[in-house]
Chain A
């Protein structure tokens, strides 16, 4: 009734009184708003009313947590539903990354919808079958669902999906920022696109997101190819407060180490983790225990072994203090039963629980809100840190993040990156960017081939067979996998056919073959991401340790890598059991800090440079951290890095391009191809046996030549299988997908040319 009046000019702005905007809503919704006793609506809320009510445009509402984004979307949506009689089928599809969030939204919306007599349903793994059957019998109203359950609907009820969603008027995507640039995000884009294909018309997409630096990226993600038409509503009022602390620690040796540990073991003494853990680890565990016990928190560490150490230390502290243990490890190497037990504990909100977990399992941990986030070691990226922060500080509490950084004592044996306190400075840079609301943009050139395989199989199951050209048009040509050419798609089909994943009938229809049926019929098919396995690093039959699962460094036989404070040459890489064979390689002192796994973005390294040049000490550092930062700056000046990029350090030279990991890996691959011994040493490249002059000459020569084809650089890389269905891809596509993720040839060549 008021929708036509609402299509005028921008009604937003802080001066709008609630009366004007609420008048846009259906009287029943407006009455409900008054009944809630809300005296004023925030600007994001009021601004979103008109475009959503009109229902002819996509909208992104971005605001801090707990600033009423949900109401901004649901008041006008419910109003639109109440105003016009619904068509048969679901009217609103709400897709959320977390089951816990769905349950939360369900409780909030239930009261409003009950008032308006709009049926509301939820659908995820924990919803009983009877409720699902009820919805299938009478599809109507709102459906709250996870991407995986939506995928399952397509696969298992593909023929009915058009009827089920026949009345669709809005697709709401919650926590949009958490999907961007991930496999799950590509899956979500594809699912939403397939929903539109099934109902045969475009449906307005309403996204709720945290505020990002460049909202256009989110718009382009929401509607690939037409992001400029998306209406952006960015709330100024900062609803949520963030409280940050970066705590610094100096590494100290364990109580028992080397000979004394040997002696204790020979004497038959009981040796616990408390005896073998470094002193700084004990101190961090002590602080975690004191501050986090008694509430729900997530503690992130960058490797599984760190997770094990801290979970064990915290459990022992609980035993010693004679209090129930609230700290549980959760990572991909644990058995399923054990993980499920932790997940059950996390869901049970009556007892406080702290999960100590790795980055890659974030997706799997379905827990709504926690009191705070603890991060041991430098965070992998600004984006994941923001997402993690988003899990704390709901319901009006401030979001809390504590980072625990350890740095070694500087001696004559310390390598330049460690002396620069790279880990601490990277953390400071990331926190600065977080406060600036900068966010790693989702990679744009990515092919997402693994997810494309999943979507192709799902499309075949949905329709009971598709023709190749139709599949290409639905998924790539007009769909979200637009970076994939039809020639690449044909290669993909051929490889899947050769692997007995798909087959073709005499009419040209693609069908699932034996292997494809096994994949699709297993419940694990619905998730686009998988739990990656760790690579084990072996030397002479002895295990040195494991690489962090998120570590994307290219492993090439013959090239150098740094691990556990030593430099190694890769002798062999076996992707089957995921084993890397190493022999010790000569060279100087490699740095201890090797990054936290995930690829560090160019912008982060540039911010690190700015931190070194800046003189001020951020307020969020504790005393030790502030000292460590000052030390780092002193060494930065000592090496003269302000005005030179290469420094000699004994046997080797370090090149500091102040660029991201993709650039470093690209240059390393190109230099290795020239026969030099080079390894990526955290934020720098370490070249063995070449001094600054030789390096300058080499880079100059490389820079004069055109940038190479990244897929050629990727050919020799042995660990290209990263995502869930990568193993089904043909070699050339695997290399293309891998290089799109890991290498940046234009960026690297720009660095080389600037240097030369």
Chain B
């Protein structure tokens, strides 16, 4: 990773330069080919959106200073929300924050009664990432680090470690649900002290929300509660205070695919989830939590639809209403909502140059395509699917990488013949595609008019 991101925001230069490490290159290429956002090397392919990045950088700094923040990243399907979230996450990791990220789904919600909220917490705890472990799974090492900083402080002050532990746990106990949380950390410390690995791993499992019954938790750790649907948010707050004790600056929670809440067909559960969002927004805007930031990604419908979106919940509508002065050319990046502008064709052109650059591992001599091929590719895509190709770049990027792969592995082939063969299909739900071999559509069926059907 290039070291510059530590001091200034990674505002991209218009043309790519510099070598790309093989690890970053492979991560980027493989992820994009699969249609997912890479976990590494975002700075190499970030295009545009400098002001948005700056705004989020301020959030990260505020959380690192013991403050709180909440931002809604709103953009169309495939407009790069997930990519943006990952970029923010990587910045936060650089700033010594712990990041927790998860995609919401019908089975992972902010509020539920059937374990779906606990399931979200488990996923977040699973993706508990630090700079040293950017891919997650860092909870145990943070707890371990808490213990070692405690020992260091004890040595420094010349007191028994148990005294420092007691002080620190006392401060945790003040928070809601903090008593048992402290007891579990205490259990981990005991395990550390007497060399009981089982106790330690039970404590980590409890912190990850992996105990499903209170009985099991009581038998293993002597605590009467577990992380459940009702208290998972309190546990996030506890984690935020806890990681600061362990020497980190705070916690940034990245929640993506909030559109899944919008799609919930059950009115009461949808409103329950919005109520949870209201709690989060209130806590952040009032600054009543320390060192905890939220970044939430969703579509414009999810935010704006007054029938089933966040705006259907009056208390949220008044808090999240966009600044009416920031219309036209005027912008306001300080509100809780950031609208991700769609990529322009120019942005998209730069993105293609960057992909070409990454694919060649940063060596301009190894570029597989000349500049005019990039324009030809864009023209071709525009003909196939219209404006959608740069508005929702996911599939277009995937096809571009596929094209590069073919060119790389078939040295004799020229690009101009291949570009005509690039197929870009509109995105579809894979679970609803006809089964292979099951009843081919009779020719002449006019369901094309349904693909562009509007009510």
Contacts and interface: CB of A to CB of B under 8 A. Distances in A.
Interface of A: 155, 158-160, 162, 196-198, 200-202, 225-226, 459-461, 463-474, 477-478, 486-487, 489-490, 493-494, 497, 502-509, 511-514, 516-517, 520-521
A470 B454 contact: no
User: Which 3 A-B pairs rank lowest in CB-CB distance, beginning with the nearest?
Assistant: A464-B263, A497-B455, A159-B106
B450 A489 contact: yes
Given A467-B451, A478-B434, 15 more contacts: A196-B438, A197-B432, A198-B431, A225-B439, A464-B265, A465-B263, A471-B432, A502-B455, A505-B299, A506-B76, A508-B453, A509-B263, A511-B262, A517-B266, A517-B267
Given A467-B451, A486-B449, A506-B301, A521 B439 contact: no
Q: Which of B76, B268, B300, B438 has the most CB of A within 10 A?
A: B438
B264 interface: yes
B76 A507 contact: yes
B446 A197 contact: no
B266 A507 contact: no
Interface in B411-455: 428-429, 431-435, 438-439, 441, 445-455
A660 to B, nearest CB: 31
19 contacts: A159-B105, A200-B435, A463-B429, A463-B432, A465-B263, A467-B429, A467-B451, A469-B450, A471-B432, A472-B447, A473-B434, A478-B435, A478-B438, A497-B455, A503-B307, A507-B301, A508-B452, A513-B307, A514-B307
Contact of A478 (B107, B431, B441, B448): B441
A24 B382 CA distance: 60
Contacts of B268: 521
B260 A504 contact: no
Contacts of B260: 464
Contact of B451 (A202, A468, A489, A494): A468
Q: Which of B300, B434, B455 has the most CB of A within 10 A?
A: B455
Contact of B431 (A200, A226, A494, A511): A200
A486 B452 CA distance: 13
Contacts of A469: 447-448, 450-451, 453
A473 B441 CA distance: 9
Given A159-B107, A198-B431, A466-B432, A477 B265 contact: no
Given A464-B265, A511-B308, A477 B447 contact: yes
Contacts of B76: 506-507
A515 to B, nearest CB: 11
A198 B449 CA distance: 25
Contacts of B65: none
B305 interface: yes
Given A477-B445, A512-B265, A494 B439 contact: no
Nearest to A137: B212
B434 A517 contact: no
A521 B435 contact: no
Q: Which of A473, A504, A516 has the most CB of B within 10 A?
A: A473
B313 interface: no
B140 to A, nearest CB: 26
B261 to A, nearest CB: 9
Contacts of B434: 473-474, 477-478
Nearest to B266: A521
B297 to A, nearest CB: 15
B77 interface: yes
Interface residues of B, number: 40
A592 to B, nearest CB: 50
Contacts of B301: 505-507
Nearest to B108: A159
A66 B433 CA distance: 41
Interface in B218-270: 260, 262-268
Interface string B376-408: 000000000000000000000000000000000
Contacts of B432: 197, 459, 463, 466, 470-471, 473-474
A375 to B, nearest CB: 41
Given A155-B265, A465-B263, A490 B450 contact: yes
A514 B265 CA distance: 10
B454 A508 contact: yes
Nearest to B455: A497
A460 B76 CA distance: 20
A24 to B, nearest CB: 28
Nearest to B308: A511
Nearest to A506: B301
Contacts of A463: 429, 431-432
Contacts of A467: 428-429, 451
Contact of A226 (B266, B433, B439): B439
A468 B434 CA distance: 14
A735 to B, nearest CB: 22
Contacts of A459: 432
A159 B108 CA distance: 10
Nearest to A496: B455
Given A473-B434, A505-B301, A493 B453 contact: yes
A506 B391 CA distance: 13
A158 B432 CA distance: 13
Given A478-B438, A497-B455, A505-B301, A468 B265 contact: no
B453 A490 contact: yes
Contacts of A521: 265-268
A486 B447 contact: yes
Given A198-B431, A466-B432, A477-B441, A520 B454 contact: no
A503 B450 contact: no
A253 B267 CA distance: 59
A155 B450 CA distance: 24
Contacts of A155: 265
Interface in B77-114: 77, 105-107
A503 B455 contact: yes
B190 to A, nearest CB: 31
Nearest to A485: B446
Contact of B438 (A158, A202, A503, A511): A202
A470 B428 contact: yes
Q: Which of B263, B265, B307, B445 has the most CB of A within 10 A?
A: B265
Contacts of A226: 439
A468 B107 contact: no
B449 A517 contact: no
Contacts of B455: 493-494, 497, 502-504
Contacts of A158: 106
A346 B446 CA distance: 51
Given A465-B263, A497-B455, A503-B307, A490 B449 contact: yes
B446 A486 contact: yes
Q: Which of B263, B266, B453 has the most CB of A within 10 A?
A: B453
A487 B263 contact: no
A478 B433 CA distance: 9
A581 B240 CA distance: 73
A514 B263 CA distance: 13
B394 to A, nearest CB: 13
B299 A507 contact: yes
A220 to B, nearest CB: 13
Nearest to A159: B106
A158 B266 CA distance: 12
Contacts of B300: 506
A434 to B, nearest CB: 35
Contacts of A489: 450
A470 B429 contact: yes
Interface in B335-386: none
Contacts of B105: 159
